[in-house]
């Protein structure tokens, strides 16, 4: 690395041309820059499965090159090691908007305060979003700004360490830490095993060997050196090849990739929303439960006619209700997750374009307002309206069921535009064969086994035949939603818990009669299908009229089965739901104890576990007065700024505490001569933290001349006389010497501004190895000059 030429007469730097020439990189600079660039790019390859295009890698490459250039300029000018990192942060704020937020720039290239705010917000919350959003993320979306920032910091930090440290292996630390960080921030699917494993290791070992070779003095022709390099390359190649061939043999086949996604909870936890199936009587045809029968819930337009519209897919039976929270038997990998701009593994055939307008009644039903209507797995979901941005941030999607939800709840007038697969409907007489494993185990349906045996008829028949037989039996029985007469609700109450379904099926065992609504028939059929080996779930939805206006009377419940082709097929209500009413049958004289009607729980919209931190109830603030408002705002600011400020305080406290412990150990341990020598070393470390390059292998007098202070020359001479003089000095002498050390250090700080003093306190230079060679050392060219004891520079 070249240094600035100086005029020996004036001590001033020469012309600007000379300074520019000094910035020309040396061969060593170019070699280190090339290795840093290659290693950082290899580390960023780990995001290949996180983004949907390679644009993120180009952004990271630009950031890495810019970081290396900033670090090179700062190294040539001998600026403090924190300057290139600060310059990288400034580069992120100035240029990050070009890559991540181009639409928000002024005139297409000028960042605004709003852009700065969004970029800073990404630094705070963007990592959380990357870990909770379903990949792949958009390659031209806002989160590529984080890749750009990683490239900047990796390039600036890696090149700074490489050029300022003489230890060969330390140069690999920054790219190695970046590689580990990218892997932890990535997905469960490895992105680039061979390049990131073998390629990174080969480059790291090669770079370390080259840096080690720079420190050796070669004597002779160099043939021995060439032999060592060839042998080292051969050994490295054999080791890498062996690891590539034998590594899979030692790895466990069931090993799970360790990433932060498996530890980080989504920003909003999905609580136990009330199942929409519980409120089925709300949509009944007669009083007193007529509340929503004639009211408009939705308005649907589609590219092709749609008959069945799913409102909520209920895929887990708890023994009390069918619900949609677990995401397929409680599997974490299929639970509701946040999605980016694109939906992973979207359907590509039999697609239909839907435009759904939310009615006022739909938005006011607590157990419905969070669920997004649709026909099946979606490939696109967009929102239109004043709340579109909020819904987009809140959107959750279940890959297993194809069900979407917005925990912030839909509002009247919201418009949902989506492209989804058309529902597959089982035709009468279609051959049925199960595919996959049941989602409800025997613990969920075992209480109905006696009724199932009577419903399916011949239990030796194939599972599909038994299921068709059961649906035929159901269709020949009776329908009642419990509202036809005043006493019918007492005899045929709503509910689908084990007690209610036990009574529903138990009466069929006793007298051969089934009497119930969609809620009872669909719940029982889904449990029966699971007992026969079919993965089955309940769908709460609606039959779409020809005019596309869905009212409460169009609401139904049906069943979806996973067949042998792996797809989910709908069993429409008309294939298992009876049409005749129980008017002609005599109700039982007394009600079974197990059929005590259980009113549905009062649905309460639960708050989010994380987003509620940032919600402020303005009505509540108004009632609390000025003091309450101030306290609420302060609490919100504390929640936002507390974690990053706490991390900074922890880092600052750790550095200052480590130096305090080191100083106390030097001052109190060992004999007096050792403590005096340690006092001089403490003074040298203070000078190094202030920016001086002090060779530790020089004499104390030479070291004091490097720093350039007269009082240091006096104290170095006193240390030599005490240490090398006859006898062991007393403890009072050591204590007096340490007092002089403290006074000298105060003098070194007296001419500096407060922020330069803090830079010295937080500098880690004294913890790093110092360069040797007193004869080759020269006073450091600092961005500021330390004052001499007399005040002259």
Q: Do residue 37 and residue 83 come from a single domain?
A: yes
Number of domains in the chain: 3
Check residue 785 and give its pLDDT.
35
Contact between 272 and 532 (Cβ < 8 Å): no
Q: Do residue 523 and residue 485 come from a single domain?
A: yes
Model confidence pTM above 0.85: no
Check residue 787 and give its pLDDT.
39
Report how far residue 74's alpha carbon sits from residue 82's, in angstroms, rounded to the nearest whole number: 9
Indicate whether 101 belongs to any domain.
Answer: yes
Check residue 325 and give its pLDDT.
64
Helix (H/G/I), strand (E/B), else coil: 5: coil
Contact between 259 and 186 (Cβ < 8 Å): yes
Indicate whether 595 belongs to any domain.
Answer: no
Indicate whether 159 belongs to any domain.
Answer: yes
Q: Do residue 378 and residue 244 come from a single domain?
A: no
Q: Do residue 447 and residue 559 come from a single domain?
A: yes
Let me know the angle formed at the C-alpha of 49 by 44 and 54, rounded to the nearest 5 degrees.
Answer: 60
Check residue 177 and give its pLDDT.
93
**Average pLDDT by consecutive 10-residue portion of the chain (793 residues)?**
42 53 82 94 92 90 94 87 88 90 83 89 86 82 92 93 87 92 87 82 88 64 55 62 57 61 59 78 67 89 93 90 64 64 84 95 91 93 90 87 90 94 91 89 89 91 93 92 66 87 91 91 95 94 94 93 93 93 58 49 46 48 59 72 77 86 86 85 84 79 78 80 82 85 83 81 78 41 37 34
| Residue 298 C-alpha from the chain's centroid | 35
Quick one: DSSP state of residue 135?
S
Q: Which of 238, 261, 284 is the last residue of a domain?
A: 261
| Residue 481 C-alpha from the chain's centroid | 46
Q: Do residue 242 and residue 282 come from a single domain?
A: no
Buried b (16+ CB within 10 A) or exposed e, 309-342: bbbbbbbbbeebbbbbbbbbbeeeebbbbbbbeb
Contact between 567 and 561 (Cβ < 8 Å): no
Quick one: DSSP state of residue 755?
H
Check residue 784 and give its pLDDT.
34
Report how far residue 598's alpha carbon sits from residue 283's, in angstroms, rounded to the nearest whole number: 18
Q: Do residue 449 and residue 386 come from a single domain?
A: yes
Check residue 774 and give its pLDDT.
39
Q: Do residue 511 and residue 367 come from a single domain?
A: yes
Indicate whether 296 belongs to any domain.
Answer: yes
Quick one: DSSP state of residue 552?
G
Tokens of 103: 């639409």
> Partners of 372 in the beta sheet?
404
Q: Do residue 168 and residue 43 come from a single domain?
A: yes
Indicate whether 224 belongs to any domain.
Answer: yes
Check residue 267 and give its pLDDT.
46
> Could you give the C-alpha distances from 577 to 474, 495, 510, in angstroms and in order?
6, 17, 20
Tokens of 145: 């700004």
Check residue 733 and give its pLDDT.
85
Quick one: DSSP state of residue 594?
G
Q: Do residue 534 and residue 683 come from a single domain?
A: no
Q: Do residue 432 and residue 351 come from a single domain?
A: yes
Indicate whether 4 belongs to any domain.
Answer: no
The residue segments making up the domain with residue 422 are: 276-582
Q: Do residue 151 and residue 54 come from a single domain?
A: yes
Helix (H/G/I), strand (E/B), else coil: 535: coil
Indicate whether 776 belongs to any domain.
Answer: no
Q: Do residue 300 and residue 449 come from a single domain?
A: yes
Indicate whether 784 belongs to any domain.
Answer: no
């Amino acid at each position: 690395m070249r240094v600035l030429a100086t005029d020996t007469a004036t001590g001033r730097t020469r012309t600007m041309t000379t300074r520019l020439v000094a910035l020309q990189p040396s061969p060593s600079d170019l070699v280190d820059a090339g290795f840093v660039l290659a290693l950082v790019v290899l580390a960023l390859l780990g995001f290949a499965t996180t983004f949907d295009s390679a644009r993120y890698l180009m952004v990271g490459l630009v950031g890495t090159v810019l970081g290396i250039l900033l670090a090179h300029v700062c190294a040539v000018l001998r600026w403090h090691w924190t300057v290139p990192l600060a310059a990288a942060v400034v580069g992120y704020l100035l240029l990050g908007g070009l890559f991540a937020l181009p639409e928000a720039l002024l005139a297409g290239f000028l960042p605004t305060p709003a852009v700065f705010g969004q970029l800073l917000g990404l630094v705070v919350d963007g990592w959380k979003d990357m870990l909770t959003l379903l990949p792949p993320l958009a390659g031209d979306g806002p989160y590529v700004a984080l890749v750009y920032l990683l490239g900047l910091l990796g390039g600036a930090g890696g090149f700074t360490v490489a050029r300022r440290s003489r230890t060969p292996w330390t140069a690999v630390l920054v790219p190695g830490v970046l590689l580990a960080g990218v892997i932890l921030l990535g997905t469960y699917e490895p992105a680039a095993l061979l390049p990131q494993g073998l390629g990174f290791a080969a480059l790291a070992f090669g770079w370390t060997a080259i840096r080690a070779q720079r420190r050796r003095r070669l004597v002779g022709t160099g043939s021995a050196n060439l032999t060592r390099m060839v042998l080292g390359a051969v050994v490295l190649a054999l080791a890498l090849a062996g690891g590539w061939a034998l590594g899979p043999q030692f790895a466990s086949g069931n090993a799970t990739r360790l990433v932060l996604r498996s530890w980080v909870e989504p920003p909003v936890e999905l609580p136990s929303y009330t199942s929409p199936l519980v409120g089925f009587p709300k949509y009944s045809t007669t009083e007193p439960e007529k509340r929503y029968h004639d009211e408009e819930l939705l308005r649907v337009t589609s590219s092709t006619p749609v008959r069945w519209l799913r409102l909520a897919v209920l895929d887990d039976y708890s023994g009390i209700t069918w619900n949609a929270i677990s995401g397929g038997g409680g599997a974490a990998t299929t639970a509701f997750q946040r999605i980016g701009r694109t939906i992973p593994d979207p359907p590509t055939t039999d697609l239909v374009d839907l435009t759904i307008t939310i009615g006022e009644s739909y938005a006011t039903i607590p157990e419905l307002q969070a669920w997004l209507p649709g026909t099946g797995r979606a490939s696109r979901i967009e929102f239109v309206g004043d709340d579109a941005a909020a819904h987009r941030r809140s959107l959750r999607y279940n890959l297993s069921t194809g069900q979407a939800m917005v925990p912030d709840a839909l509002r009247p007038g919201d418009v949902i535009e989506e492209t989804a697969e058309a529902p597959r409907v089982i035709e009468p007489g279609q051959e049925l064969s199960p595919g996959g494993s049941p989602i409800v185990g025997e613990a969920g349906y075992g209480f109905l086994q006696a009724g199932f045996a009577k419903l399916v008829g011949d239990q030796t028949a194939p599972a599909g035949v038994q299921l068709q037989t059961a649906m035929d039996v159901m269709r020949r029985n009776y329908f009642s939603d419990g509202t036809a007469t005043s006493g019918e609700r007492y005899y045929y109450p709503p509910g689908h818990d084990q007690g209610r379904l036990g009574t529903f099926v138990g009466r069929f065992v006793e007298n051969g009669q089934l009497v119930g609504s969609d809620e009872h028939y669909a719940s029982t059929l889904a449990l029966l299908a699971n007992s026969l080996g079919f993965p089955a779930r309940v769908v709460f939805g609606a039959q779409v009229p020809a005019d596309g206006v869905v009212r409460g009377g169009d609401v139904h419940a049906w069943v979806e089965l996973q067949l042998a082709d792996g797809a989910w097929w709908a069993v429409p209500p008309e294939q298992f739901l009876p049409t005749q009413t129980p008017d002609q049958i005599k109700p039982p004289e007394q009600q079974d104890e197990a059929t005590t009607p259980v009113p549905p729980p009062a649905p309460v919209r639960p708050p989010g576990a994380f987003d509620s931190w940032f919600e402020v109830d303005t009505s509540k603030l108004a009632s609390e007065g000025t003091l309450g408002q101030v306290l609420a705002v302060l609490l919100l600011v504390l929640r936002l700024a507390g974690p990053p400020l706490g991390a900074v305080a922890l880092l600052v406290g750790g550095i200052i505490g480590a130096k305090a412990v080191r100083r106390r150990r030097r001052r109190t341990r060992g004999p007096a001569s050792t403590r005096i020598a340690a006092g001089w070393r403490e003074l040298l470390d203070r000078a190094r933290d202030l920016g001086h390059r002090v060779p530790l292998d020089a004499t104390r007098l030479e070291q004091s001349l490097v720093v350039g202070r007269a009082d240091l020359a006096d104290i170095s001479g006193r240390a030599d006389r005490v240490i090398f003089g006859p006898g062991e000095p007393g403890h009072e002498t050591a204590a007096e010497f340490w007092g002089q050390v403290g006074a000298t250090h105060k003098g070194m700080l007296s001419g500096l501004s407060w922020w330069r003093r803090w830079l010295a306190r937080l500098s880690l230079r004294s913890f790093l190895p110092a360069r040797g060679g007193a004869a080759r050392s020269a006073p450091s060219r600092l961005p500021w000059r330390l004052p001499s004891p007399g005040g002259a520079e």
